[in-house]
Amino acid sequence: MRTSLLAAFLAFALSAPAVAQVVDPRIEEILGDVSPERLHEYLSTLTGYETRHSLSFSDRPGFGVLPARQYILETMQGFSDRLDVAFDCYEVEPQGRIPEQAELCNVVATLPGRSERRVFVSGHYDTVARIEASDPASGGGGGGFDWSVYDNPAPGANDDGSGTVLTMEAARVLAQSGLDFDATLVFVAFVAEEEGLVGASLMASRAEREGWVIDAMFNNDIIGNSLGGNGILDSRTLRVFSEDPMDSPSRQLARFIRRQGAAYMPGHEVRLIAREDRFGRGGDHTAFNRRGFAGVRFSESRENYARQHTAADTLGGVDFEYLARNTRVNAAGVATIAMAPPAPDVIGPRGPMLGRGETGYHADMRWQRSPGATSYRVVWREAWTPDWEHEVVVGDVDHFVLENISIDDYVFGVAAIGPGGHESLVSAYVRPPRAGSDIREVGRD
């Protein structure tokens, strides 16, 4: 068995172009352009509005959500003529944590690509803070959240000013790169995350209704603090959360981000966390996951819970060099997906196009060729293992056989590689979850 596997390997290794993980100097240049000083400038302006509570509409100049969203809009408009920047507004009826009718607006910057495929980078610009017991607004009570009070101090420097300015800076460096991307890049500062993912849910519903092709959503929330509330400093790792199951499109996206992060940002480790979000908490990617789109959450490794949702979530709690490195991890992943061909389609009318081959003991994979691809990377791993263990690059083919590898014991996938060496997300040979149903299909045998 070993011999024939080795033979299969050698045969294809000899015929395939030697494409390892490509590091594109143009992407490295984009990453080098990410500026901690600019991140600081955006964030000091945003925190200067005192609160960005989604309902903090105020006549006071320089206060609240209105000048904040206007600043995000105008700043991104100033980055490049190629960016199409606009508010994405919704009339929202009273509900849950929104006591009165309001017009709520996401801020969206779009960098058009050659294809319909879209890749999202996001953070939420709204903030919230508990009322301090000492604040007259607490009415002499013990303090806490009061969803009818909109104007108490809520600087939200790290939650989620950090994700917002990361998104803005990613928009700048990618738009100013002058590169033409195959995928359309969409940079979104979401509103009303704190009221229950309201801005993200409204946009995700629209995406579902209008049939947008979304390859990936990179959601950044609480991403700029390197000093944990327990005193532990970690400015060299970050976390990427992805929803179950093990081969969900979101989990493939997470693996991809770690791979690209290792190539472009060695020494800054992406830690993959096999859960949708932090324990008992949520974020805007969830609104997209629920509608079947691949999306992950980026968060710092060490949080300071004492600052979150309080008046103490200030600029001093953000490490801008760390935030810049996390911005670069985002930009490397986004640029690679956007420059690569689309992921190959491995699901046929009867399910995953994976069989046992002529002998009945092989792994026989077929896929639809991706437009623009010049080769493919086939990956596999034991089914009890979290990340791909083996790979082989094959040529411009749509069929590959691994001899004497049981399709029961391993998981298989394939990624498309373009002429510049940029590779797509992996498409795994697993049955896709049935949309709108929690009932799993169970075969009889």
In the complex with Zn ion, the residue whose CB is nearer, 221 or 303, is 221
Sort strands 184-190 and 102-111 into parallel, antiparallel or unpaired: antiparallel
Distance from chain centroid for Cα 385: 23
Please report how close the Cβ of residue 123 comes to Zn ion at its closest, in angstroms: 8
Please report how close the Cβ of residue 282 comes to Zn ion at its closest, in angstroms: 9
Cα(271)–Cα(300) distance, rounded to whole angstroms?
Answer: 10
In the complex with Zn ion, the residue whose CB is nearer, 126 or 247, is 126
In the complex with Zn ion, the residue whose CB is nearer, 121 or 174, is 121
Cα(179)–Cα(175) distance, rounded to whole angstroms?
Answer: 8
In the complex with Zn ion, the residue whose CB is nearer, 221 or 276, is 221
Q: Are 363 and 380 in contact (CB under 8 A)?
A: yes
Residue environment code for 85-116, b if the CB has 16+ CB neighbours within 10 A, otherwise e: beebebebeeeebbeeebebbbbbbbbebebe
> In 16-122, which ranges are continuous DSSP H helix?
25-33, 36-47, 65-77
Token readout for 61 is 């100049």
Please report how close the Cβ of residue 273 comes to Zn ion at its closest, in angstroms: 16
Please report how close the Cβ of residue 283 comes to Zn ion at its closest, in angstroms: 6
In the complex with Zn ion, the residue whose CB is nearer, 174 or 240, is 240
- Angle of helix 249-264 versus helix 320-339 axis, rounded to 10: 110
Residue of this chain nearest to Zn ion (CB atom): 160
In the complex with Zn ion, the residue whose CB is nearer, 311 or 415, is 311
Cα(282)–Cα(197) distance, rounded to whole angstroms?
Answer: 8
Please report how close the Cβ of residue 441 comes to Zn ion at its closest, in angstroms: 36
Please report how close the Cβ of residue 221 comes to Zn ion at its closest, in angstroms: 4
In the complex with Zn ion, the residue whose CB is nearer, 56 or 80, is 56
Please report how close the Cβ of residue 68 comes to Zn ion at its closest, in angstroms: 15
Edge-first strand listing for the sheet containing 399-402: 354-355, 363-366, 399-402
Alpha-carbon distances, residue 281 vs 186, 196, 285 (angstroms): 25, 11, 12
- Site of interaction with Zn ion (CB under 5 A): 159-160, 221
List Cβ neighbours of 301 (8 Å cut-off, separation of 6 or more).
234, 237, 238, 239, 271
In the complex with Zn ion, the residue whose CB is nearer, 125 or 256, is 125
Alpha-carbon distances, residue 21 vs 331, 344, 423 (angstroms): 16, 18, 8
Please report how close the Cβ of residue 417 comes to Zn ion at its closest, in angstroms: 36
